[in-house]
Amino acid sequence: NDVIMCCVNLLSAWVFFSWATHRIERGAKDNNHLLYKPYSNGDGSNRDLDHASEFEMSDIFYFCRQGVESIMDDEVTKRFSAEELESWNLLTRSNYNFQHISLRLTVLWGLGVVIRYGFLLPLRVTLAFTGVGLLVVLTSIIGFLPNGRMKNFLSEQVHLMCYRICVRALTAIITYHDSENKPKNGGICVANHTSPIDVIILASDGCYAMVGQIHGGLMGVIQKSMVKACPHIWFERSEVKDRHLVAKRLSDHVEDKTKLPILIFPEGTCINNTSVMMFKKGSFEIGSTVYPVAIKYDPRFGDAFWNSSQFGMVNYLLRMMSSWAIVCSVWYLPPMTREEGEDAVQFANRVKAAIARQGGLVDLLWDGGLKRGKVKDTFKEEQQKLYSKMLVGTQEDRSRS
C-alpha cells in the first residue's frame, strides 16, 4: 500500500507540474512575456532603458531560481557533515543501512565490533595516555633547563617521540610526499583543516610552534607544559579578537630564525575532507615565507572529520580510536612568497588553490564560519548589486546607449 500511495503521489506531482509548466509557457507566448525582463540579457547591458525602472512580478523569478538552485546544489553546508562513501567500511557510523543487507555482512560487522572495541580500543587508549603523559612530564622537566641548543634539541626529540606515540594510538598510516619542501625555521606552515588530529599528523614528521587559544582543564595543562620547553604561541580569549596583537606576536616569532616554523590552519574550522574553504588573511599579512601543506584522508578506513557541533572532543577521539585505521597522505608544497602588487587576500587564495589542486580538493570561496554563523550582509549586498545591474544597467551602459 505504501508503494502504491508513493507512486500515486509522484504521478500527481508530475501531472501538476506538467500542467503548471504548460500554462506558464502558453501564457508567456500569448502575452509575449518572458520570465526575465526583455531589456536584460544577464550581463548588465541594457536594451530598453525607458522601462528599466518599472517593477514587474517576473522580477522575483530571478531570486526564486537562485534560491532553488542553491538548495538543490548546495556546495557549502554539505561540507560540514561527514563525507558520503560509495561502499560500506563495516562501520555503522558511515552507513547504518548496510548493516543488515545479508547475514554474512552482519556477522562480519559483529566480528569487527569485537576486534575494534575489545582489542584495538584498549590498546590505543593506553598508548594515548602514555603519549600525553610523557609529553606533559618531559616538557615540564625540560622547561627547567637554560635556553640554548641542548634545550631546543631535547624539546624537539621529546615532541617528536610523544606525537609519534599518539599517532600510533590512532593506528595512523601516513604517507609523506616531497619532504624536501618541509617547513623551515622562520616560516609559516599553512594546511587545510579536517580534524584536530591534523596537528599530530604533521608534528610527528617535524616540530612546529603551535598557535591557539588558551584552554582550561587537561588541554590547559598540556599547553602550559609545552610552552615551557618550546616557544608556542597561546592567546587569551580576549587577545584573539585583537588582530594587531596577533599579527605582532606572529611577526616577532618568524623574525627569529632560530624558532620553529608556525603551524596555522587558516580556514579556522574543520571541513569534511572534500574541499578547502576561505583562508583568513591574517597569517598572510606578515610577509614571511609560507609553506603550504595538503592533507587528504582516506575515508574507507575511518572518517577523520570532526563535526564539533555534533560530537565533543572526547567522543570524537573515541570514535577515531575505534575506527579501523586513520589513513592519510601529506604533501609538502614548494614555499610561496607574496608577489609584488599582491594583497593578503590574493596571496591567501593563491596558496589555497595550490593546496586544493595538490590534495584533489574542491576550491571554495565561501567562509567556513558559515558552519556556525549566518551569511554576512556583504554577500547579500553583492547579489543585490548584481541584480540591480541586470535591471537598470550601469551608468556606462546608459551613456553608451
Q: What is the pLDDT of residues 198-208, one digit of tens each?
A: 989 999 998 89
Q: How much helix, strand and coil, in percent to the nearest 5, is found in the chain?
A: 50, 10, 35
Cell triple for residue 251? 611577526
Q: How far is it, in rounded angstroms, from Cα 35 to Cα 255?
A: 59
Instruction: Report if residue 378 sits inside a domain.
Output: no
Q: Is residue 310 part of a domain?
A: yes
Chain centre distance of CA 83? 12
Query: Which residues form the domain of 351?
Result: 96-365
Please indicate, yes or no, if residue 34 is contained in any of the structural domains: no
Is 400 a member of any domain? no
Q: Per residue in 130-177, pLDDT tens? A: 999 999 899 889 988 888 889 889 988 999 999 999 999 988 889 999
> Is 0.85 topped by the overall pTM?
no
What is the number of structural domains in the chain? 1
Buried b (16+ CB within 10 A) or exposed e, 125-162: eebbeebbeebbebbeebbeeeeeeebbebbeebbeeb
**Coil vs helix vs strand at 122:** helix
Tell me what pLDDT residue 98 has. Answer: 57
| 77 part of a folded domain | no
Decide if 302 is inside a domain.
Answer: yes
Q: Is residue 381 part of a domain?
A: no
Least reliable range by pLDDT among 64-68, 302-306, 341-345: 64-68
- Angstrom CA distances, 212 to 60, 245, 269, stand at 46, 13, 12
Confidence of residue 270 (pLDDT cuts 50, 70, 90): confident
Quick check: is 33 in a domain? no
Answer yes or no: is pLDDT of 70 > 50: yes
Angle between the N-to-C axes of helices 59-72 and 377-392, in degrees from 0 to 180, rounded to the nearest 10? 140
